[in-house]
Every structure is written in structure tokens, then in C-alpha cells.
């Protein structure tokens, strides 16, 4: 099954189609798309050569490069180790503040 287009990609395609058939000017297109004049030229050129298919994000459906790991147990142990370090530091600070307030 092919990938579906997002609302933003559909809007971009409609604006580029209007630009292609000269219904709007490049200046109107750049204000509607929120990009620079050079970007509009680049988008219009690519739209004319490749059509709508290139508008669909290539990253959709792929895992993030920023993920920590695929193994949930490792991810959970990482979270627990972070929490334990954080709690140890916090209890140390509380203990220190209590000692200072006694004297």
C-alpha cells in the first residue's frame, strides 16, 4: 500500500499546481507556503519534473534516528538508573539542608 499525503503536503501540492498553471504568482505562493523566493523556484522546478510523488515524506514509517534502543528492558533499566541517581542526589541535598538547619 502506498503512503498517504499529510494535510501540509496536500496544501503544498495544490499551491504548486496553481503556480504551474499561472493562477497565482510566485510572490503569492511564497506567502502561502511561508518559504523564500528561492525555495519557491526550487519547489516549482521539482514539482514540474517529478509531480506529486516527491512531496510525500521519505521518513514516514521509519524509526527515529534518536531512539535509544529497540530493547524495552534496556530502555526501562536506563530510565530506572536515571531515576535512582536523581533520587540519590535529591535525598543527599535534603539531608544536607536538614543538617544545616539544625545548627
Q: How far is CA 34 from CA 59, 83, 92, in A?
A: 22, 42, 51
Q: Whole-prediction pTM value?
A: 0.56
pLDDT in tens, 52-93: 888 877 777 788 888 776 555 454 555 556 666 666 666 665
Instruction: Please give the average per-residue pLDDT across 19-32, as a whole number.
Output: 94
pLDDT in tens, 28-58: 999 999 999 999 999 999 989 988 888 877 7
Amino acid at each position: 500500500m502506498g503512503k498517504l499525503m499529510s494535510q501540509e503536503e496536500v496544501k503544498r501540492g495544490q499551491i504548486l499546481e496553481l503556480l504551474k498553471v499561472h493562477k497565482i504568482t510566485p510572490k503569492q505562493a511564497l506567502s502561502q507556503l511561508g518559504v523564500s523566493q528561492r525555495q519557491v523556484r526550487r519547489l516549482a522546478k521539482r514539482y514540474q519534473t517529478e509531480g506529486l510523488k516527491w512531496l510525500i515524506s521519505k521518513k514516514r514509517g521509519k524509526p527515529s534516528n534518536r531512539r535509544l534502543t529497540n530493547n524495552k528492558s534496556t530502555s526501562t533499566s536506563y530510565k530506572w538508573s536515571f531515576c535512582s541517581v536523581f533520587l540519590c542526589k535529591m535525598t543527599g541535598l535534603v539531608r544536607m539542608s536538614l543538617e544545616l538547619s539544625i545548627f
